[in-house]
Every structure is written in C-alpha cells, then in structure tokens.
Amino acid sequence: MFTNYSKDIHSENLSIESDKLSDEYFTVIIEPAGTWLKANWAELWEHRELFYFLTLRDIKIRYKQTLLGITWVLLQPTISTIVFSILFTNLGQTNPLNVPYPVFAFSGFTVWIFIAVAISSGSSSLIGNPNLITKVYLPRLILPLSAIAANLLDLLLGLISLIIVMAIYGVTAGRTLIFAPLFLILCFTIATSLGILLSAINVRYRDVKYILPVVLQLWLFVTPVFYSLDMIPEETRWIWKLNPMTGALGGFRAALFGASFDSFEIAVSVVVAVILVILALQIFYRMEDSFADVI
C-alpha cells in the first residue's frame, strides 16, 4: 500500500516537472514588436537563408517567360539616354562635369531606374505574398528587403554598362571614384526605406499601386537625372537641393567623374535618409500586427 502510494506521488511529480519543462521550452508566444526599438534584429539574421531564397526567387520570376530576359536591364537606360540625348542636343544642353551628354544621362538613368524599380518592388512585396503572411511565421520585414535586394543585380549590370559607355566616349573616372559606393549605399538606403514604408501602407490602402507610378514619374522630373542643376534658376535652385536624390545622385556623379562635392546637397540627402529609415521601420512595426487580418 505504501509502495503504491509512493509510486503515485513519484509519477505525479514527473507529470508536474514535465508540464513545467513544456511551458518553459516549448511554448512560443509571437507578438509584434510595436516599435522598431523593440524589434528582434537577431531574428532577421537567423532567417538569412530564407532571405537568400526569396531574393533568388524574385530574380528568377522577374525575367521568366520574357524574350529578352535580363537584357531589359540594359535597354531601359540605353533607350532613355538615346531619347534625351537627341532632345537635349537640339536644345544645346551642356553639363558642368564636362563629360559627353550621353555619359552624363546614362549615369543618371542607371541609378534612377534602380531606385524606381526597387521602390515599386518593395511596395508590392507584402500583398504579393499573402500565403507567407497568413500561414507561415517569418519576420515580415524580410519580404520587402528581399524584393528590393533582388534589384541589386540589375544595378550591377547597369554599372558595368556605364563603364562600357564611358570607355566608348573616352571618359575616365576621377580620383574620387572610391567614394562612389558610398553614394550608391545612400541611394539604396533611400529606396529601401521608401519600399518598406509603402509596403506597410499598401496592405491597408491599395491606392498605393495607382499613385506610386505617378509620384515616381513626377519625382524623376524634379531630380537632375537627365539635366544638370545649372539649368534651374539660381534663386529657386535651393528647392531642388531639398530633394534627397539630388545630393545622392549628384554625389555619385561627382565621385565618378572627379568633380567637386556639394556639401549642402549631400547633408540633406543623409539627414533625409536617416529620417526615412526611422520613420519606415516605426510605421512598419506599428502596422505589422494587422497584416494577416487585412491582407
């Protein structure tokens, strides 16, 4: 009788300890961070393989069942450069960098097309993957990041094409070329921030996909991509300098062709980029808890 009672007590203790172990080691509570300061950044690193596969998937899907495939990456800036070269040659357009206009325009379109496509890809990344959001747990931030990162291959090919165009026109890079990657990182930061921000807003307000192409088109015309800032009247030029892409693109060109840097333009771009990063992450994590319900 005593022995059976001891066994019962022993088995009950094992059951209690098992429940404790189960609660301690196997219960996982997933909650949205609510703010970028509370985000689990280590979790993004833990899912780096998923980030890699999603990026690779986006690259493959983009040019699947296309006749020209990745050649479209080269055609876009080339066609734009030809059109604007004809237009501005007739207008007598010059640039302060003292490089042939086709080289000047190609350098601008190479970076700008990356910016525009990256923002568009990032903005549609969440609504384009509803099953991953509603049925599988993963850090949602990976989706816009991988969609934007997939465009880096396009940028790399565009830069290689730019080197070829420079060689054709006999343009050599300046000694400040080592600073060019810094401005490309600045452009990437601006595009990534806007892509993350718009991806969250697009889940709730689908108007983004209709408004974004118009905004990007207008942004192109207020950014010195195919024209120099010297064409703008001096009294209103400061308005153009408040555009973050003016300093980022202008700094890239200055580093590439060995021209002087405009410290005010660059400072504006850096400050705006930092503000965009904080704002994008804050809004993304604020809205993250409603993604699965709304999408």
User: Over 60: is that where the pLDDT of 28 sits?
Assistant: no
Q: Which of 262, 268, 237, 234 is nearest to 250 (CA)?
A: 262
Which range marks the domain in which residue 63 is found?
38-294
Q: Residue 35's pLDDT is what?
A: 63
Asked whether the beta carbons of 120 and 199 are under 8 A apart, the reply is no
* Mean pLDDT, range 184-207, rounded to an integer: 95
* Mean pLDDT, range 92-97, rounded to an integer: 67
Asked, for residue 159, whether it belongs to a domain, the answer is yes
Asked, for residue 102, whether it belongs to a domain, the answer is yes
Confidence (pTM): 0.83
Asked, for residue 13, whether it belongs to a domain, the answer is no
Asked, for residue 21, whether it belongs to a domain, the answer is no
Asked, for residue 29, whether it belongs to a domain, the answer is no
User: Over 50: is that where the pLDDT of 256 sits?
Assistant: yes
pLDDT in tens, 211-223: 999 999 999 999 9
Asked, for residue 170, whether it belongs to a domain, the answer is yes
- With 0-12 / 13-18 / 19 or more C-beta atoms within 10 angstroms meaning exposed / middle / buried, residue 235 is exposed
Q: Which of 140, 188, 151, 144 is nearest to 44 (CA)?
A: 140
Q: Residue 88's pLDDT is what?
A: 73
User: Over 90: is that where the pLDDT of 113 sits?
Assistant: yes
H helices present in the chain, as ranges: 2-25, 41-46, 48-62, 72-90, 101-123, 130-135, 142-149, 152-168, 180-204, 208-221, 237-241, 244-257, 263-287, 291-294
User: Over 50: is that where the pLDDT of 9 sits?
Assistant: no
Q: Is the dihedral of CA 7, 9, 13, 16 positive or negative?
A: positive
Asked, for residue 9, whether it belongs to a domain, the answer is no
**Tokens at 6, concatenated:** 């001891």
Asked, for residue 66, whether it belongs to a domain, the answer is yes
User: Over 90: is that where the pLDDT of 1 sits?
Assistant: no
pLDDT in tens, 56-82: 998 888 777 666 667 777 788 888 888
User: Over 60: is that where the pLDDT of 137 sits?
Assistant: yes
Give the chain's domain count. Answer: 1
pLDDT in tens, 157-189: 999 999 999 999 999 988 899 999 999 999 999
Asked whether the beta carbons of 224 and 244 are under 8 A apart, the reply is no
User: Over 50: is that where the pLDDT of 110 sits?
Assistant: yes
Mean pLDDT of the chain: 84
User: Over 60: is that where the pLDDT of 152 sits?
Assistant: yes
Q: Residue 141's pLDDT is what?
A: 93
Buried-exposed string 102-133: b where 16+ CB fall within 10 A, e elsewhere: bbbbbbbbbbbbbbbbbbbbbbbbbbebeebb
